[in-house]
Amino acid sequence: MSAAPRRPTSPAPTGGPDRPLAAIGLLLIGMMVVPFMDAIAKHLSASYDLVQIVWARYFFHFFLIAPLVLWRFGWRGLTPPRLAAQILRGGLLLGSTMLFFAAIALMPLADALALVFVAPLIVTALSPWILGEKVGPRRYTAVAVGFLGVLIIIRPGAGVFDLGALLALCAGSVFAFYLLATRRLSGSSPALVTLAFTALLGALIMTALLPFHWRTPDPADFALMASMGLIAAIGHLCVIRAYEWGEASLLAPFSYSEIVTMTLVGYIFFGDFPDSWTWVGIAVVTTSGVYISLRERYRQKA
């Protein structure tokens, strides 16, 4: 999941050049690499506590990205304005990450990610009350259809809806509030500064919890833990640059390409492949999400 989602965040454009094709390419690269971090987390969950895995994801992410932030912004890059709101936002992402890593320890990667994609639907449904945005009947209909897709995936009463699915849905719900908080903070600080502070907050909180959950990893597992931070840094930097070069409404539909990579990674490394009904649900959720994004783009152009 990108931290993006993460799944990944959609930083507001910062006035960079308009390079839509390059922006789409960078976003697709980000969506291709982040599932490998999730696969590593799933692999490590068989031997290590959730707290230690989440700590590794945040600690090594911050360790790798901090030099870049300090070089570009100095120490002020670690103390963004509107600090209380930034802490709330970072805490929401941390909570979503923990829930998602807990979910993928219990269920296939692609199934979990598909349920996390409930987040854009929740954002659209709540935007009028939290962000004061106007949402018309067409987008509300798309939201309802998207939730129908979620029901197809979990199929209540058919023995499919279990603890893993519940954790994934909770991860998506918390991630939705993270996205809402991100929109509220849009433009308050450079995207890279916000990303660094989010990684720092997660690293500090998880480091405080780590002594109660630590198990000394062998060299191979330690390398995997470090690679989680590297993958997160690369993925998020690609996403940040993509949203600096292209409009969010243009790029949002391409974020669903992550489900393709996640499916391939899950099948290659864990032998998991969604069943036919899950694919139907994924298609419904994805179609509704893409429609909402395209409708938002049309509304902005109108």
pLDDT band at 249 (very low <50, low <70, confident <90, very high): low
pLDDT at 61: 94
Helix (H), strand (E), coil (C) string for 213-231: CCCCCCHHHHHHHHHHHHH
The C-alpha atoms of residue 61 and residue 48 are separated, in whole angstroms, by 19
pLDDT tens string 187-228: 778 878 888 999 999 999 999 999 999 999 999 999 999 999
Burial class (CB in 10 A: 0-12, 13-18, 19+), 41: buried
The C-alpha atoms of residue 101 and residue 42 are separated, in whole angstroms, by 7
Handedness of CA 55, 37, 26, 122 (dihedral sign): negative
Lowest-confidence pick of 74-88, 113-127, 259-273, 287-301: 287-301
* 155 or 6: which leads in pLDDT: 155
pLDDT at 1: 64
pLDDT at 11: 42
Highest mean pLDDT among 124-138, 175-189, 269-283: 269-283
The C-alpha atoms of residue 56 and residue 267 are separated, in whole angstroms, by 24
pLDDT at 13: 42
* 20 or 106: which leads in pLDDT: 106
* 187 or 68: which leads in pLDDT: 68
pLDDT tens string 164-173: 999 999 999 9
* Extents of the domains making up the chain: 20-301
Highest mean pLDDT among 58-67, 132-141, 151-160: 58-67
Mean pLDDT, all residues of the chain: 86
pLDDT band at 5 (very low <50, low <70, confident <90, very high): very low
∠ CA 38-124-295 to the nearest 5 degrees?
Answer: 100
pLDDT band at 15 (very low <50, low <70, confident <90, very high): very low
For residues 59 and 206, is the Cβ–Cβ distance under 8 A? yes
Instruction: State yes or no: pLDDT of 7 exceeds 60.
Output: no
